[in-house]
Amino acid sequence: MRWALIGASRIASNHMIDAIRGQPDAQIVSVLSADPQRAESYAATHGIPHHFADLDTLLAQSDCDAVYISTTNEKHHPQAMKAIAAGKHVLCEKPLATSTTDAVEMVTQAAKRRVVFGTNHHLRNGGAHITMRDLIATGRIGKVLSVRVYHAVSLPEQLRGWRINDASAGGGVIPDITVHNVDTVRFLLGEDPVDVIAKSTTSGLGEGVEDSVMSVWTMASGTMVQSHESFTHSFARTGIEIHGTDGSIYAQNIMRQEPGGSVTLIDMRGEHEIPFDTHNMYHRALHRFTEATLGRGAPSADGIDGIKSLALALAVREAAQTGRTRTVDYSGVPQ
């Protein structure tokens, strides 16, 4: 499997280059950066043989089977469309795009062109998350009544660029973190949110985009979900609480890039620490994606998952801006 990196990003250098190279027979053959010097230095730093500053040239000259797109959010759609047209499998970062219309077009075109399309929602690959999903699916907590997701963090200094200053690049905590939370909840419960209310704030960390948001969603079954995301909380822990008629699950420090944290189940019989696998989430995502390109299974998060997480995030932003309940718009999502 020969990969091209579209975007000389931090997520690629911190996690994804290692995850791609961790797959059998996988190699990274080229990297794209809008800045030719940066393309060259990134390629040299990471031992990537070819570098490009123009996507058309990369797609024409770089003999790759798949691309991993991790540029800023507004570039995902045009870059994915070109890669799909060139017949490449696409693993795209979240959020897939800045509008659901664009995300739907990406996923629909990938299906038409018969290339594999995945969304890099890493959390659903985590051992803690898989274990929680299994506890729920096997009825250990009965009927799920409510979920609380807390995912307020302090945005690391080196990431305080486009994420907090550039709405046109897809900045803001909602496209950055809310999408992960909704993908996690959809994965855990196996159902979609129907409508949302929300409030957001801009603390002054950056310019023009929200850096904190709280929202409440109603899931299709009626289960209520409360979700909190922020870039400004230095000492908060991340976690999920899932409350059912027969028990509650408390998971702490599990909304992260590294495996770990804890999962505790409380029911009539007492409190139980639940063991789970601590494999690398990005490696598992790459494994599932690679298998899908070989005709075995599907990516852990596919294109439809990416459209749906974006649809909820956009509904949350609209609800926060208007102060009104918003129905999540899934129109155009492929069946």
Name the residues that contact ligand NDP, by CB under 6 A: 7-11, 33-35, 38, 70-73, 93-94, 120, 122, 159, 161, 176, 257
Bridge partners of residue 146, in order along the sequence: 224, 243
274, 264 contact by CB (below 8 A): yes
Of residues 13 and 202, the one with the C-beta less far from ligand NDP: 13
Which among 284, 76, 310, 286 is positioned nearest to 177, based on CA atoms?
A: 310
Instruction: State the amino acid at position 175 in one-letter form.
Output: P
Our measurement of the distance from residue 140's CA atom to the centroid of its chain's CA atoms, rounded to an integer in Å, reads 27
64, 3 contact by CB (below 8 A): yes
**Mode of pairing for the β-strands spanning 144-152 and 239-244:** antiparallel
Cβ at position 173, least distance to ligand NDP in Å: 11
Of residues 71 and 232, the one with the C-beta less far from ligand NDP: 71
Cβ at position 199, least distance to ligand NDP in Å: 23
Bridge partners of residue 149, in order along the sequence: 227, 240
* Rounded alpha-carbon distances, angstroms, from residue 285 to 121, 292, 300, 303: 8, 11, 6, 13
Residues 121/122/127/131 CA torsion (nearest 10 deg): -10
Cβ at position 135, least distance to ligand NDP in Å: 24
Of residues 122 and 317, the one with the C-beta less far from ligand NDP: 122
Cβ at position 109, least distance to ligand NDP in Å: 19
Of residues 123 and 216, the one with the C-beta less far from ligand NDP: 123
Cβ at position 74, least distance to ligand NDP in Å: 9
Of residues 223 and 230, the one with the C-beta less far from ligand NDP: 230
Cβ at position 6, least distance to ligand NDP in Å: 8
Of residues 7 and 299, the one with the C-beta less far from ligand NDP: 7
